[in-house]
Amino acid sequence: MRSLDRCLLALRLSGGLLRDPSSNHVPFVGSEFPDAEFDRLRELLLARRGFDLGMYKDRCVKRRIAARVRACGFNAALPYLAWLEHNESELDALLAAITINVSQFFRNPSTFQALQQEVLPALVKNARAAGERRLRLWSVGCASGEEPYSLALLVEVLQVQDLEIEIWGSDISAPALVQAAAGYYDEQRLGEVPAALRERCFVAEGRGLRLREEIRRRVKFQQQDILGEGAYPRAALILCRNVLIYFSRGDQERILRRFANALGAGGYLVLGRAETLLGEIRQRFAAEYPEERIYRCLPEP
């Protein structure tokens, strides 16, 4: 028997392959992921990819891991882990699945409308009054880049000549950042982009559209774990939408405190619609546009 056939047979006997259609076995779900196997998976991701799975909420993460287990044809954690240890491409796919933030340009349009009409003009005005020459905008957990590029499109419309407006996009997933840097998207991701802006800033290519090079140059992408020890960059605006929900309350408070220090008084923080400020950190922010989860950073007490 060939080695591949022996492996498949062993997996089938261990219950590792996806259930037979005639079987009544219930598909694998995240709640079935045993703690021992979860710890083993955490160690594997930490050793091979430098990603600490333990910092994320188990319930949210296990659902995404279970989806990868099923997608790869397994119905149990142990055989999937045995296979994962020898499959680098699946490690990348799993990391992307855990950290993915499905997005599109101008997601939650009313949030970007507030940024365009109120927040960015206020930041530009304040920078000019303070004699500053640069503004930095930071998109945390930027995934495939739609959010920081949306900021770049707003900057293009704003047409500020006397300030350098620098946009950063950060994410823990290296493959996602490679995709972001390419600036290539299908039509569905551009549903909220006005027609005039689409024509001005994108070029048709294959079955999708690519951002023009001068727009892509506005954004700098960087791999980053926001729970890591590295310093946060100074920024006038931080967007961290639908990222905090994956962390424990203690880690959320720690991240928000570091955001406040990076912003300084007068900077703006944008959270996701399902997120809010927690604990003592609420003293560092004032709600400017509560429905949009846009907060202005206050001086430290």
Paired strand residues for 247: 56
User: For residue range 46-92, what is the model confidence (pLDDT) as tens digits?
Assistant: 888 777 776 566 667 788 888 888 888 888 888 999 999 988 888 88
In a domain? residue 238: yes
**Which is more confident, 279 or 215?**
215
> Which phi and psi angles does 21 have, rounded to 5°?
-55, -30
CATH code for the domain in which residue 62 is found: 1.10.155
- How far is 77 from 225, CA to CA, in rounded Å? 26
Please name the residue ranges forming H helices in 14-145: 35-49, 58-71, 77-84, 88-99, 109-114, 120-129
Q: Which residue, 41, 64, 99, sits at the end of a domain?
A: 99
Q: Are residues 185 and 65 in the same domain?
A: no
In a domain? residue 245: yes
Q: Are residues 162 and 17 in the same domain?
A: no
Structure tokens at 20: 């037979």
pLDDT category of residue 266 using cuts at 50, 70 and 90: very high
Structure tokens at 141: 């957990």
User: For residue range 181-232, what is the model confidence (pLDDT) as tens digits?
Assistant: 999 999 989 999 999 999 999 999 999 999 999 999 999 999 998 888 878 9
Element housing 171 (H / E): strand 164-171
Q: Which residue, 99, 120, 137, sits at the end of a domain?
A: 99
In a domain? residue 42: yes
CATH code for the domain in which residue 113 is found: 3.40.50.150
Check pLDDT > 60 for residue 255.
yes
Q: Are residues 158 and 23 in the same domain?
A: no
pLDDT of res. 70: 87
Check pLDDT > 80 for residue 24.
no
- How far is 217 from 212, CA to CA, in rounded Å? 9
Check pLDDT > 70 for residue 21.
no
Contact 295, 277 (CB under 8 A): yes
Element housing 10 (H / E): helix 3-13
pLDDT category of residue 7 using cuts at 50, 70 and 90: very low
- How far is 226 from 48, CA to CA, in rounded Å? 18
Q: Are residues 75 and 211 in the same domain?
A: no
Assessment of whether the complete model's pTM goes beyond 0.85: no
Q: Which amino acid is at 68?
A: R
In a domain? residue 265: yes
Q: Are residues 127 and 15 in the same domain?
A: no
Nearest by Cα to 221 from 179, 276, 189, 264: 179
Q: Are residues 196 and 113 in the same domain?
A: yes
**Which is more confident, 31 or 24?**
31
The upper half-sphere exposure of residue 259, i.e. CA atoms within 13 Å in the direction of its Cβ, equals 31
Q: Which are the contacts of 140, defined by CB distance < 8 A and separation ≥ 6?
A: 170, 226, 238, 239, 240, 243
In a domain? residue 104: no
Q: Are residues 180 and 63 in the same domain?
A: no
Domain count, the chain: 2
Share of the chain above pLDDT 70, in %: 86
Q: Which residues of 211-222 are buried (b: 16+ CB within 10 A; e: fewer)?
A: beeebbebbebe
Q: Are residues 93 and 117 in the same domain?
A: no
Find the angle CA(64)-CA(172)-CA(271) to the nearest 5 degrees: 80
Q: Are residues 277 and 138 in the same domain?
A: yes
Check pLDDT > 60 for residue 28.
yes
pLDDT of res. 35: 82
Q: Are residues 16 and 84 in the same domain?
A: yes
DSSP result, 214-277? HHHTTEEEEE--TTSSSPPPP-SEEEE-S-GGGB-HHHHHHHHHHHHHHH-TT-EEEE-TT---
pLDDT of res. 57: 61
Check pLDDT > 80 for residue 30.
no
Q: To the nearest whole number, what is the mean pLDDT of the chain?
A: 85
Strand, coil or helix: what is 111? helix
Q: Are residues 234 and 275 in the same domain?
A: yes
Q: Are residues 63 and 135 in the same domain?
A: no
Q: Which residue, 73, 99, 125, sits at the end of a domain?
A: 99
The DSSP code for 27 is P
Structure tokens at 154: 């707003």
pLDDT category of residue 128 using cuts at 50, 70 and 90: very high
- Name the residue range of residue 21's domain: 3-99
